[in-house]
Copies of this chain bind each other. A is one copy, B any other.
Amino acid sequence: MLPGVGVFGTGSTARVLVPLLQAEGFEVHALWGRSEEEARCLAKELGIPFHTSRSDDVLLHQDVDLVCIYIPPSMTKQIAVKALGIGKNVVCEKAATAVDSFKMVTAARYYPQLLSIMGNTLRFLPAFVAMRQLLVEGYVGDVQVCDVRVYGPSLLDQSYGWTCEELMGGGGLHIVGSAIIDLLSYLTGARAHRVHGLLRTFVQQNNLIRGIRRVTSDDFCFFQMLMVGTGSAGVCCTVTLNFNMPGSFVHEVMIVGSTGRLVVRDTQLYGQRNGSKSEELLLGDNGWVGPEAKEMPLPFLQGLSSMVKALRQSFQAHEERRSWARGPVASAPTFEDGLYVQTVVEAVKQSSSSGEWVCVEVMSQEPDPNHNLCEALQRNKN
Contacts and interface: CB of A to CB of B under 8 A. Distances in A.
Interface of A: 144-145, 147, 149, 196, 198, 200-203, 220, 222, 224, 231, 233, 236, 238, 240, 242, 244-248, 256, 258, 261, 272, 274-279, 355-357
A247 to B, nearest CB: 5
B236 A198 contact: yes
A248 B272 CA distance: 9
Given A244-B256, A247-B272, A220 B355 contact: no
Q: Assembly of this chain: how many copies?
A: 2
A261 B250 CA distance: 14
Contacts of A224: 198, 222
Contacts of A356: 355-356
Given A144-B220, A145-B244, A244-B256, 20 more contacts: A144-B244, A147-B149, A147-B240, A147-B242, A196-B196, A196-B198, A198-B236, A200-B233, A222-B224, A238-B238, A242-B256, A244-B258, A245-B261, A246-B274, A247-B276, A247-B277, A247-B278, A248-B279, A355-B356, A355-B357
A144 to B, nearest CB: 5
Contacts of A236: 198, 200, 220, 222
Given A224-B222, A231-B202, A355-B357, A245 B238 contact: no
Contacts of A248: 261, 272, 279
Nearest to A144: B202
A129 B295 CA distance: 37
14 contacts: A144-B220, A147-B242, A196-B355, A200-B233, A201-B233, A202-B231, A202-B233, A220-B236, A222-B238, A244-B256, A247-B272, A247-B274, A248-B272, A356-B356
Nearest to A153: B274
A200 B144 CA distance: 10
B258 A202 contact: yes
A196 B357 CA distance: 11
A196 B236 CA distance: 15
A274 B246 CA distance: 6
A223 B210 CA distance: 34
Contacts of A202: 144-145, 231, 233, 258
A245 B263 CA distance: 12
Contact of A256 (B145, B196, B245): B245
5 A-B pairs closest in CB distance: A144-B202, A355-B357, A246-B274, A247-B277, A222-B238
A238 B198 CA distance: 10
- The listed residue with most B CB atoms (<10 A of its CB), out of A231, A247, A276, A278, is A247
A242 B240 CA distance: 16
